[in-house]
Amino acid sequence: MRNPAWLAVLLLRFGFSGCSSPDLDFLTGFFRGKPAVVTSYNCWSKSKNVELVKSLANSPDVHFSGYYTAPRVDTLKKYSNIDYLVLDLRNCLPANLILLQLNQSNTFVYPLKYLLLIDKPDFSSLSAELGQYQILPNCELVIAVFDNDSAFLYETYKVGKKSELTWENYGNWTLEGGLHEHYWNVPTSQRRMDLKGANLVVCLVVFVNDTLNHLDDYKDPGVDTFTKQDYESTMCMLQHMRVNHTFSIVDNYGYVDAESGNFSGLVREIQSGRADVSAGSIFFTADRYAAVDLIKQGNPHAIRFVVRKPATSFMKNIFFITFNTGVWIASTAILATFALSVLLILNWETQHKEKVKQNKYSVSDVTLIALEAVCQQGTTTDPQSFAGRILALILFGAFMFIYVSYSANIVVLLQSTTKINTIEELVESRIEVGGEEIHYMKNYFEAVKKGPLKKLYDRKIYPNQYFPLKVGMEKVRKGNFAFHVASQSAYDYILHHFTNHEICGLQELPGFIEVSGTPKNTPFHVFFQENLGYLAVPKRSPYKDLFKVAILKVDEYGLQRRSNLRIVMQPKCYSQGASFETIGFVDCEKVLYVWIFGTISAFVILLMENLIHRCVKRIKREKWEFSD
């Protein structure tokens, strides 16, 4: 009696002992040396199944987990690419029904591999049946056609859903000679690269309609830069695969709608299956990773902060950084020593000289003399002794050289610029920050949840610091403004509108592209400095591996690099020539603060002196009245 049975999952990496029938010998030879997990459904007798299990059990790597009494097609979708489903279609109607269910449930797009056993007279009818199934290039389906003690092996697939079957001569098997495979070491993705004119839909992101007329002529590289940068490499990939394509045009890369939870733009087209591949690469985010498959292309899509190096006076107090700490300490020590010496000499002169202007000199008098020497303003105090005059000469001479050095350094610092090294420095600086007014920019700003970029967004960008390209770049030209923009758009504008001196003063900081979450159990929360793009394909795409191999070949041949060199043209600084710089209020504000503080202090001290004078005068008057 024949009873259909699911033969349990068996892990095979083995050599088998002899079997009792040609089909058992064939299965033994087919799986010899292949790491595979095998599930079999057949209409064999129980004794024959037991005989197969015993022969497989001779290997220590074989594991037997029991029998199944009913087919479970949905469970096959969880199998990996080392799993094999063996269906014996010879006089076994349930096995044929399982094959039909596999097609109806779209299981052929999953990684599971298939081995079908059929007799030669039934091969033509099986071929006609398979011609109605969706067996696409990613499906590895081997058909063993038995003719007495031998079998011919074929693989079949379709290049497209409406195409005819393509047949591959996989090999043959004989009872005496064993198994001979033609493609045992050739991956499927290489064998099936030629899609023979299959019709595929390619999704293209375009912001400006005129871009469709200039996808490959390198005109206006700053407009739709990412699309133009990826277009030629994608076309080379499709030509290599011999694909006929039609475009699906969208106006954004794909973002989740907060209300509906659905994607828009490119990701929507790919996720729904209306497009087979994207013609431009997109950035990696957790929600996109869950919706579509991303193929690493490695094409840098730089979005960075472009800023003109700020003047040193804008970033630091140039009146303090003129000298280092050691010079300030030494100058202060010299000044204090000279002031003390002058105090002693002048007070000595009041006691031993006749022509003196004051009877006694206080600390405030000497402090004023020291400040007169520091500021090179001269002094009304005329020492009478030789020692005093020599000391005054040395004091004014020493501080003359210090004054000249200080003034020269101030002039140099007023013309110098300071490079911003980190995002933290940009956050703490007084530089204004803004982003390009383009739809995807705000999404990436809001995706950052922590760190200095979050502080930068909250303090300087939120809620409306977005500018068109021209406005933002003109603000960069004027200075003290950092513009977050696609690098090539900025480069194109700089090449046409900035002078060489302005180009030499530019710098870039890493951009704001950050992953707004991570796939479960994946430590993937990084700050992209190179912003690599990824081609998008639908989940379980039958062409995914083909696209992956083809795009890697395009990159290896240098075709992508050629496009990048022609589109991504970074401006060069040819000479660091000097130019006239205007001095603004910001450069002198520290001096103005000193003047304001000094003026206010003078009035406060004047009022205090006046008040003290009146109090003293009143006290004296009361004493005279009391004494009278």
* 96: CATH: 3.40.50
The stretch 493-516 carries a mean pLDDT of: 82
- Distance CA(193)–CA(237), nearest Å, equals 10
- Asked if residue 477 and residue 399 are part of one domain, the reply reads no
Say if residue 384 is in the same domain as residue 362.
Answer: yes
Given a cut of 90, is residue 277 above it in pLDDT? yes
Quickly state the pLDDT bin for 58 (edges 50, 70, 90). Answer: low
Q: 536 and 524 in one domain?
A: no
Look up the CATH number of the domain holding residue 253. 3.40.190.10
pLDDT per residue as tens digits for the range 372-391: 888 888 887 888 888 888 98
Residue 277, in any domain of the structure: yes
Domain membership flag for residue 220 = yes
Angstrom distance (rounded) from CA 315 to CA 301: 31
Whether residues 492 and 423 share a domain: the answer is yes
Region 520-547 average pLDDT:
69
- Could you tell me the pTM of the whole model? 0.74
Whether 398 maps to a domain, the answer reads yes
- For the chain, state the CA radius of gyration: 42
Across 344-348, 375-379, 523-527, which has the greatest mean pLDDT? 344-348
pLDDT range class, residue 160, cuts 50, 70, 90: very high
- pLDDT interval class at 593 (50, 70, 90): confident
Do 398 and 440 have their domain in common? no
Within 13 Å and on the Cβ side, how many CA atoms surround 133? 26
Buried b (16+ CB within 10 A) or exposed e, 519-532: eeeeeeeeebeebb
Q: Are residues 208 and 243 in the same domain?
A: yes
Asked if the model's pLDDT at residue 47 lies above 90, the reply is: no
Share the mean pLDDT of the chain. 84
Per-residue pLDDT at 170: 94
With 60 as the cut, is the pLDDT of residue 19 above it?
A: no
Q: At 333, which CATH number?
A: 1.10.287
The residue segments making up the domain with residue 494 are 306-310+419-530
pLDDT, mean of residues 153-166: 94
Chain segment 180-224, per-residue pLDDT in tens: 998 878 888 889 999 999 999 999 999 999 999 999 888 888 888
> Do 525 and 426 share a structural domain?
yes
pLDDT at 14 over 70: no
- Tell me the longest C-alpha to C-alpha distance in the chain: 151
pLDDT over 70, % of the chain: 89
Instruction: Examine residue 553 and state whether it is found in any structural domain, yes or no.
Output: yes
Whether residue 2 has pLDDT greater than 70 = no
Contact 512, 423 (CB under 8 A): no
Are 22 and 55 within 8 A, CB to CB?
no
Residues contacting residue 389 through CB under 8 Å, at least 6 positions apart: 383
- Among 399, 415, 431, the domain boundary falls at 415
* 197 and 185 in a common domain: no
User: Which tops the pLDDT comparison, 369 or 33?
Assistant: 369
Asked whether residue 524 falls in the same domain as residue 553, the answer is no
pLDDT of 523 strictly over 80:
no
Q: Based on the domain organization, do 277 and 386 belong to the same domain? A: no
Count of domains for the chain: 5
Q: Nearest 5°: phi and psi at 439?
A: -60, -35
Name every residue whose Cβ is closer than 8 Å to that of residue 102 and which is 6 or more positions away in sequence: 73, 76, 108, 133
